[in-house]
Amino acid sequence: MSYSILIVDDSLPMRSVIKRTLNAAGFGSSEILEAPNGREALKLMEGAWIDLIMTDYNMPEMNGLEYIKTVKAGEMSKDIPVVVISTEGNDEKIKDFMDAGAAGYITKPFTAEAIRDLVVNILGEMDYEEDIDDSDDDFDF
Amino acid sequence: MKKILMTAMTTSISEVMETMFFLPVEIGSKIIFEESGIEKNKLIACQLTFSGDTSGKLITVAPSDLAAEMAENFMGEAKDQLTRDHLTGTLTEMVNMVCGNALSQVKPKVPYKLGIPEQISFSDLNENIDYTSIEIIDAIMLISLIMNEV
């Protein structure tokens, strides 16, 4: 299945690595969108359909935590799962991310398997929920 | 504290270089810049500040050829497709991963703040500071941990 995945990271090489990892994990047919910080990501999200957000924490302009809080406060964006990919492996910081509504957390350096397992887990769950919604007559756009 | 943190940094470099850059490393001896053989006009240097109950900065210096090798492995792009920004971005990301990983391992329950990794020029480097050499295949990279005095 093809998805729309938004990668938010100020490092161009890191965005490239995550994109390559998603390709290798079987998401090559997905649309990959990129933004260098939270503020640019929010602009990019206006009018765009996003299935999954993968964001760094330590970014200029708007960091990952502020970005997650803004996404989760938005009526149109609150249900988009957000995965944090960061060097910040501090217990308190991870708790902050999860409390803000992150669906998962991956510490850099990461393996391709860690990315694949988490993304498959989240998008798989989404498919399952869509199946339930599809059987509901109230479901409409 | 500096010794504990430096040990964590060197352990973290091995993990980051092998996991993300597919390059095995060996931790070498303490040297000053002039002993490294790195050419001043063919290097990339960057630094990352951190603060918390300990604060300081991690400086990394690498020859451009090594940065290109790292970027090629990291991004999966041929060297002739890489720009200077790719090499700089790769090295700054490496420093970011090493520093964050090391701080998390040394004090997982103590909050800290990482700055934004930035490129620095050779003139910003103090040639007399001690570096630890990191041997990577046939090249050497330098790292230096500078702690702020309390």
Residue A139 confidence (pLDDT) above 70: no
Q: What domains can you pick out in chain A, each with its CATH number?
A: 4-134 (3.40.50.2300)
* Three-state SS at B31: strand
Q: Is A93 on the interface with B (CB under 8 A)?
A: yes
For B2-147, CATH number out of 3.40.1550.10, 3.40.190.290, 2.60.40.10, 3.40.50.920 equals 3.40.1550.10
Q: Is B118 on the interface with A (CB under 8 A)?
A: no
* Three-state SS at B71: helix
Average pLDDT per consecutive 10 residues, chain B (150 residues; last block may be shorter): 88 93 93 90 94 91 95 92 94 95 84 89 83 92 87
The answer to whether B68 and B23 are in contact (CB under 8 A) is no
- Distance from CA of residue B106 to its chain's centroid? 18
pLDDT of residue B140: 94
The answer to whether B97 and B109 are in contact (CB under 8 A) is no
Closest CA to A51 of A18, A69, A27, A16: A27
Q: Is A88 on the interface with B (CB under 8 A)?
A: yes
Tell me which residue in B75, B86, B101 faces A109 most closely, judged by beta carbons: B101
The answer to whether B146 and B57 are in contact (CB under 8 A) is yes
Residue pairs between chains A and B whose CB atoms are closer than 8 Å: 79
Would you list the domain boundaries of chain B?
A: 2-147
- Residue B9 Cα distances to A85, A107, B29, B74, angstroms: 20, 16, 14, 20
Q: Is B83 on the interface with A (CB under 8 A)?
A: no
Residue A74 to residue A77: CA distance in whole angstroms: 5
pLDDT of residue B110: 79
pLDDT of residue A130: 45
Can you tell me the mean pLDDT for A58-86? 94
For this complex, say whether ipTM is above 0.90: no
Q: What is the pTM of this model?
A: 0.85
Q: Is A2 on the interface with B (CB under 8 A)?
A: no
* Three-state SS at A35: strand
Mutate to test the interface with A, among B96, B105, B114 (most CBs of A within 10 A): B96
The CB density around residue B1, as the number of other CB atoms within 10 Å, is 12
User: Are A87 and B97 within 8 A, CB to CB?
Assistant: yes
| pLDDT tens digits for range A75-117 | 999 999 999 999 887 888 899 999 999 999 999 998 888 998 9
Q: Is A63 on the interface with B (CB under 8 A)?
A: no
User: In angstroms, what is the C-alpha Rg of chain B?
Assistant: 15
Q: Which residue of B has its CA nearest to A114?
A: B19
Chain B residues with CB under 8 Å of A16 CB are: 74-77
